[in-house]
Amino acid sequence: MTTITNSVHRNLVVVMKNRSKRIGYFGPTGTFTEQALLTQKDLAACELVAYRTVPDVLDAVESGEVEQGFVPIENSIEGTVNFTQDALVFDHNLLIQREIVLDIEHCLLARKGVSISDLTGIMSIPVATAQCHSYLRKNFTTLEVRAANSTAEAAQLVAANSSEKLAAIAPRNAAKVYGLEVIAQDIADHQGNQTRFVLVGKDTVPTATGHDKTAIVVFQRADEPGSLISILQEFAARRINLSVLLSRPTKRGGLGDYCFIMYADGHIQDELMADALRDLHAKQGDVKFLGSYPASGQHAHTAREHADARWREADDWMTELRSRITR
């Protein structure tokens, strides 16, 4: 009985400790962002605060209103979520703490009793409507497509509007949250639709797990022939794989002034990665670090849990080897 009581007490302490931590996310309730967040047990146990837009989430983290924020950053159909990526690059000094990938199923939700043939309009966030572009063109050539701040907000607005026969492109679970019915399912244009989400915070960099990514932004000293290849060679020479390479306008002036956003496999705790970033900083000058963090994947969670133990074991091993050095 004592053992059981102690175990319950320990679990209660962990839950209470997590509840004191506030995590902001792109809401409202029912978004894919919330779904992805709830797959992470440690984050789901925290106090979750929904915000209306991605910039609102990032502002809340930077101001200290919440400790961390959770937002979408990339989709397998539409590519980068530019308003998230640009906010991290240009508007905030936050670091990515981890990433989570979620399978996405877009559904068409309507008030009870409304059928597809009754619809007078469709609502969703533009990123979602773009992922269902072919479906909408084929089935609703004359309907007005209205913008909402999120898929869940679209469902919320459809539920509240009894004067029009509208539908929302939204997650299946939003139907339950807002009392709607699923009138069409899996309507994305391509199979295997996935979205990558990131947890962001201030200052700290998670310990290397052996299954990590590092994100940086490189602002060129000068736009000249060979400038991009010289940047890429820093990674190629060290056999570091780049999983994402983007160019974005620097917003500093006219056309043609671009920066490069890069996601590379590895962690700044790795000597090769640290060496590559050191050389880039020396040669390019303006390099913004967006974080080194555990990559998503089947083994990412286990890797995070055991990272500290593995590093302690590696430190002990190296200490033992060095003890053999002749004095």
**Whether residue 293 is found in the same domain as residue 226:** yes
Lowest mean pLDDT among 30-34, 132-136, 156-160, 282-286: 282-286
| Separation of first and last alpha carbons in the chain | 55
**Whether residue 217 is found in the same domain as residue 272:** yes
In a domain, 112, yes or no: yes
Tell me the CATH number at 312: 3.30.70.260
Lowest mean pLDDT among 8-17, 104-113, 149-158, 266-275: 8-17
pLDDT band for position 7 (cuts 50, 70, 90): very low
Report whether pLDDT(10) > 50. no
Tell me the CATH number at 12: 3.40.190.10
Overall average pLDDT of the 296-308 stretch: 54
Residue 18 confidence (pLDDT): 59
In a domain, 321, yes or no: no
**Whether residue 257 is found in the same domain as residue 277:** yes
**Whether residue 6 is found in the same domain as residue 22:** yes
**Whether residue 226 is found in the same domain as residue 312:** yes
Residue 114 confidence (pLDDT): 94
70: left (phi over 0), alpha (psi -120 to 50) or beta: beta
Phi, psi of 99 (to 5 degrees): -130, 150
**Whether residue 77 is found in the same domain as residue 90:** yes
**Whether residue 234 is found in the same domain as residue 149:** no
| Residue at a domain's end among 184, 213, 247 | 184
Q: Could you give the percent of the chain with pLDDT greater than 70?
A: 89
Residue 316 confidence (pLDDT): 86
In a domain, 72, yes or no: yes
Residue 264 confidence (pLDDT): 94
**Whether residue 212 is found in the same domain as residue 304:** yes
In a domain, 189, yes or no: no
**Whether residue 135 is found in the same domain as residue 171:** yes
Phi, psi of 57 (to 5 degrees): -65, -50
Residue 14 confidence (pLDDT): 40
**Whether residue 146 is found in the same domain as residue 239:** no
pLDDT band for position 204 (cuts 50, 70, 90): very high
Residue 19 confidence (pLDDT): 62
Among 221-230, 258-267, 291-300, top mean pLDDT goes to: 258-267
**Whether residue 220 is found in the same domain as residue 296:** yes
**Whether residue 6 is found in the same domain as residue 85:** yes
pLDDT band for position 13 (cuts 50, 70, 90): very low
- Structural domain boundaries, residue 121: 107-184
Q: What is the model's pTM?
A: 0.80
In a domain, 191, yes or no: no
In a domain, 190, yes or no: no
Report whether pLDDT(211) > 80. yes
Residue 326 confidence (pLDDT): 85
Number of independent structural domains in the chain: 3
Residue 314 confidence (pLDDT): 78
